[in-house]
Chains A and B, each alone.
Chain A
Amino acid sequence: MSDKQSRGASVDSGTKQVGASKATLNRRKFLGDTLKTACGAGLLGLGMGTYSRQVESTPAWVIRPPGALPESEFSGACIRCGLCVRDCPYDMLRLAELGEQVAFGTPYFIARDKPCEMCEDIPCVAACPTNALSHELEVIEDARMGLAVLIDQEECIAFQGLRCEVCFNVCPVQGDAITIEMQHNRRSGKHALFIPVVHSDACTGCGKCEKACILEEAAIKVLPMELAKGLVGEHYRFGWKQKQVAGKSLVTPDVEHRYNLPEGVSYDFNEGGLKLPPGSSQEAKASDETPFSSNPLDSLKKLQNQESK
Chain B
Amino acid sequence: MMTAQKKHVVGQQANEKKGWLRAHKWLLLRRVSQLSILALFLAGPLFGVWIVQGNMASSLTLDILPLSDPYVMLQALMAGNLPVTEGLIGVVIVLAFYLLIGGRVYCSWVCPVNIVTDMAAWVRRKLGLKVSSPFSRSTRYWLLGLTLILPLITGAIVWELFNPVSLMFRGIIFGMGWAWMVIIAIFVFDVFISQRGWCGHLCPVGAFYSLLGKKSLIRVSASERDQCDDCNDCFIICPEPKVIRPALKGADKGIGPMIDEINCTNCGRCIDICDENVFSFTSRFKS
Contact surface of A with B, Cβ cutoff 8 Å: 33, 37-38, 40-42, 44-45, 48-49, 51-53, 55-56, 72-73, 75-83, 85-87, 94-100, 103-105, 127-132, 135
Residue B14 lies at the interface, judged by CB distance under 8 Å to chain A:
no
Assess the A99–B178 pair: CB atoms within 8 A: yes
Assess the B136–A37 pair: CB atoms within 8 A: yes
Chain B residues, CB < 8 A from A45: 146, 149-150
Q: Give bound CA distance, A105 to B160, whole Å.
A: 8
Number of A-B contacts (CB under 8 A): 162
Chain B residues, CB < 8 A from A105: 160-161, 166-167, 170, 174
Chain B residues, CB < 8 A from A48: 146, 150, 158-159, 161-162
Q: Which 4 A-B pairs have the closest CB atoms?
A: A97-B177, A76-B79, A129-B87, A81-B58
A126 CB, min distance to chain B CBs, angstroms: 9
Residue of A nearest to B87 (CB): A129
Residue of B nearest to A38 (CB): B142
Q: Give bound CA distance, A135 to B96, whole Å.
A: 27
Pairs A–B under 8 Å by Cβ, sample size 6 = A48-B161, A76-B81, A80-B57, A86-B50, A97-B176, A98-B182
B200 CB, min distance to chain A CBs, angstroms: 15
Residue B211 lies at the interface, judged by CB distance under 8 Å to chain A:
no
When the two chains form the complex, which single residue of A49, A55, A87, A130 contacts B81, counting CB atoms closer than 8 Å? A130
Q: Give bound CA distance, A73 to B157, whole Å.
A: 10
Assess the B86–A129 pair: CB atoms within 8 A: yes
Assess the A104–B167 pair: CB atoms within 8 A: yes
Chain A residues, CB < 8 A from B143: 41, 44
Number of interface residues of B (CB under 8 A): 59
Chain B residues, CB < 8 A from A40: 139, 142
Residue of A nearest to B160 (CB): A80
Assess the B142–A80 pair: CB atoms within 8 A: no
When the two chains form the complex, which single residue of B58, B145, B162 contacts A83, counting CB atoms closer than 8 Å? B58
B40 CB, min distance to chain A CBs, angstroms: 13
Residue of A nearest to B75 (CB): A79
Q: Give bound CA distance, A52 to B261, whole Å.
A: 35
A42 CB, min distance to chain B CBs, angstroms: 8
Assess the B87–A104 pair: CB atoms within 8 A: no
Chain A residues, CB < 8 A from B44: 86
Assess the A83–B160 pair: CB atoms within 8 A: no
Q: With A83-B53, A129-B58, A129-B66 in contact, do A49 and B161 touch (Cβ < 8 Å)?
A: no
Residue B222 lies at the interface, judged by CB distance under 8 Å to chain A:
no
Which of B60, B72, B158 is most buried by chain A, counting CB atoms within 10 A of its CB? B158
When the two chains form the complex, which single residue of B53, B82, B156, B182 contacts A56, counting CB atoms closer than 8 Å? B156
Residue B246 lies at the interface, judged by CB distance under 8 Å to chain A:
no
Residue of A nearest to B158 (CB): A52
Assess the B156–A76 pair: CB atoms within 8 A: yes
Assess the B136–A33 pair: CB atoms within 8 A: yes
Assess the B150–A75 pair: CB atoms within 8 A: no
Assess the B176–A98 pair: CB atoms within 8 A: yes
A129 CB, min distance to chain B CBs, angstroms: 3
Q: Give bound CA distance, A158 to B68, whole Å.
A: 51
When the two chains form the complex, which single residue of A33, A79, A87, A128 contacts B72, counting CB atoms closer than 8 Å? A79
Q: Give bound CA distance, A38 to B171, whole Å.
A: 31
Residue B112 lies at the interface, judged by CB distance under 8 Å to chain A:
no
Chain A residues, CB < 8 A from B244: none
Chain A residues, CB < 8 A from B60: 83, 127
Residue B127 lies at the interface, judged by CB distance under 8 Å to chain A:
no
Assess the A98–B76 pair: CB atoms within 8 A: no
